Structure 1
Amino acid sequence: MSTTVSSPALDHAGVRGPQKLGPLTPLVGEWEGDVGVDLSYHNQDDETGHTSYFEQATFKPIPIQENGQQVLWGLSYSMTAWRHGEEAMDPFHDEIGFLLWDKAHGQVIRNVVFGRGIAILAGSDARPGDRVLRFDAKPGDPSYGILQNRYLMERAEIKDFTSAFTFEDDDTFSYTSDLLLRLATTGAEMHHTDQNTLRRVRRYHPSAVLG
C-alpha cells in the first residue's frame, strides 16, 4: 500500500520577488497626503510661520542605469503640494527627480530638482528592507551636494539638507525634510522644514485599472 506524503501549504504572503529596487521597493505607486506642515520664512509678512498642505506623489520604476561597473536601479518621482484651501489653484511646491539604489555599495541616492531653482544630490548608506531611508547633502560636498540660483544664494543660502522617508506599513509612509538656511535679512540661520504622511492610492500592477 503506497502512502502519499503531502507537502506543507506554501505561505504566499511570505514569498517575494528579487526586489531589485532594494529599500526603494515599497514606494512604487501613487500616493496622497493631507496632513502636510511646512515651516518657512514668509517674506511678505517678514516672519516665520506654518502652512498646512495637501500633497500628491508618484514613484515609477525606470530602466536600469549603468555607469561602467556601477549598476543602479531606481524610480523617477514627483511630489506636488497645495496649501489647504488652494487645492484648485497653482501648487506652492513642486519637485521632480530620481531615487536610486546602488546595491553593490549599499547606497540610496536622491537626485531632486525644485521648481525654485534648486538642485540637490543627496544620499546615505542603506540596506534592503530598511524601514527608514535618509538623504543628506551639504554645499560643496563632491558627491552629495547642493546648488541654488544666484538670487537665492544671496538671500537664503542653503547650509545643509537632511531628509528621511519612514515606511509605517505597506501602504503608508512619512517623510521629513529640513533645509538649514542663512537669511540675509536677519543674518540668522533658520530651519525650513516639511513633513507629511502619505497613503498609497494606486499600485502599478497588471491587474490595476489604467487611468
Structure 2
Amino acid sequence: MPNDIAYSRKLGPLTPLVGEWEGNVGVDLSYHNKDDWTTETTYFEKASFKPIPVQENGQQTLWGLNYSMTAWRHGEEAMDPFHDEIGFLLWDKAHGELMRTVVFGRGIAILAGSNARQEDKILTFDAKPGSPCYGVLQNKYLLERAEIRDFKSCFTINDDGTFSYTSDLLLKLAATGTEMHHTDRNTLHRVKRYHPSAEG
C-alpha cells in the first residue's frame, strides 16, 4: 500500500482525475455560421483519464494521463457527438509545470501549459498562436474563417468529488469581422475508477 500511495503522488495535481466521468450540465456558447447567430447549446459529456508510462526527455521527467472528452447535444445522445477531443495531461514536478496537449476533431491542435503545485485544486492551461512553447495550430479553412487568437482552460477539483472545467477560445470571425469568446463549461462526476487488478 505505501508504494501505491507514493506512485500515485507522482501524478501530482492530476491524481484526482484518474477514472471515467460523465456530466449532463454542459453549456457551449458559440457562433453558428449557418444561422449567423451566437447561441448556447447544452450537452451531455463523457470523459476518460488514464495513467501513461513515465516520459523522460533527458533530465526532464513527466508523469501524466491520456484523456478523451466527447459531447452530445441534449436530445442527440443516440446520434454522432458534436464535439470530440483527445490528448495528454502532463505533470513536471521538478519544474512545477502542467501541460495539456489536445487535438480536436475539427483540425485544431493545442499545447497549453502553466505553473502548478502538487496540492493545487485549480489547474489552468494557456496557449497563444505563435508561441514557441505553448501554442495553437488550426487547419487553413478555420484559420481563414475563425482564427484562434487565444486559448484558456481551467480544471477545478471540487470538494464533493466532482470536477468542473471551463474553456475559452478567443476567435476572430471572418463572417462578422469581430472577436468573440467561444466558451464551454461542464461539471462531471466519476462513474468508474481504475485499478491495476481490474479488467475491462
Give yes or no for TM over 0.5.
yes
- In the TM superposition, 1:30-45 aligns within 5 A as 30-45=20-35
Choose 1 or 2 for highest CA Rg.
1
**Aligned-residue identity in percent:** 77
Alignment-mate amino acid for residue 59 of structure 2: Q
Q: Following the alignment from structure 1 to structure 2, what is the Cα–Cα distance between the partners of residues 34 and 170?
A: 16
Deviation of residue 43 (structure 1)? 1.2
- The runs of 5 or more residues in structure 2 that have no matched partner are none
2:91 maps to which residue? 101
- The runs of 5 or more residues in structure 1 that have no matched partner are 1-11
1:157 maps to which residue? 147
2:110 maps to which residue? 120
Q: Are the counterparts in 2 of residues 26 and 170 from structure 1 also a CA contact under 8 Å?
A: no
Alignment-mate amino acid for residue 17 of structure 1: A
2:67 to 71, 77, 96: 77
TM-score, scaled relative to structure 2: 0.95
Deviation of residue 207 (structure 1)? 6.2
2:6 maps to which residue? 17
Runs (4+) of structure 1 moved beyond 3 Å? 15-18
Q: Following the alignment from structure 2 to structure 1, what is the Cα–Cα distance between the partners of residues 66 and 196?
A: 19
Q: Following the alignment from structure 2 to structure 1, what is the Cα–Cα distance between the partners of residues 196 and 49?
A: 16
Deviation of residue 16 (structure 1)? 4.5
TM-score, scaled relative to structure 1: 0.90
Aligned residues: 197
The reply to whether residue 90 of structure 1 matches residue 90 of structure 2 is no
1:79-112 deviations in Å (ceiling 9; x for gaps): 0000000000000000000000001110000000
2:125 maps to which residue? 135
Q: Following the alignment from structure 1 to structure 2, what is the Cα–Cα distance between the partners of residues 32 and 38?
A: 16
